[in-house]
């Protein structure tokens, strides 16, 4: 029995990748987010990008896990 044969493996990989990328990208994103001349919709674009990235990563990992 393999440690990596679980069906939850793609979900766990997605969460780990998103956490690591948020640690790397959070300071520059917060600088953009809180700047005085940033548009009002910038936080929504950032969240949309994060959600879209996690969706495609989850889809790719599930397809490769089968």
CB 42 within 8 A of CB 32: yes
Inform me whether the pLDDT recorded for 37 exceeds 70. yes
Residue 53's domain comprises 9-65
For residue 3, tell me if it sits in a domain. Answer: no
Band of pLDDT at residue 65, cut at 50, 70 and 90:
low
List, for residues 18-32, the tens digit of each pLDDT value.
788 778 777 877 777
2 assigned to some structural domain: no
For 47, other C-beta atoms within 10 Å of its C-beta total: 10
Q: In total, how many domains does the chain have? A: 1
**Measured CA angle at 61 (ends 4, 26), to 5 deg:** 100
4 belongs to a structural domain = no
pTM for this prediction:
0.54
40-64 confidence digits (pLDDT tens):
887 788 788 888 888 888 888 777 7
Q: Report the chain's mean pLDDT, rounded to a whole number.
A: 75
Residue 34 DSSP class:
T
């Amino acid at each position: 029995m393999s440690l990596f044969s679980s069906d939850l493996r793609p979900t766990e990989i997605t969460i780990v990748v998103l956490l690591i990328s948020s640690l790397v990208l959070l300071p520059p994103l917060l600088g953009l987010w809180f700047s005085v001349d940033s548009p009002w919709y910038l936080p929504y674009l950032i969240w949309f990008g994060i959600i879209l990235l996690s969706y495609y990563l989850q889809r790719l990992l599930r397809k490769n896990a089968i």
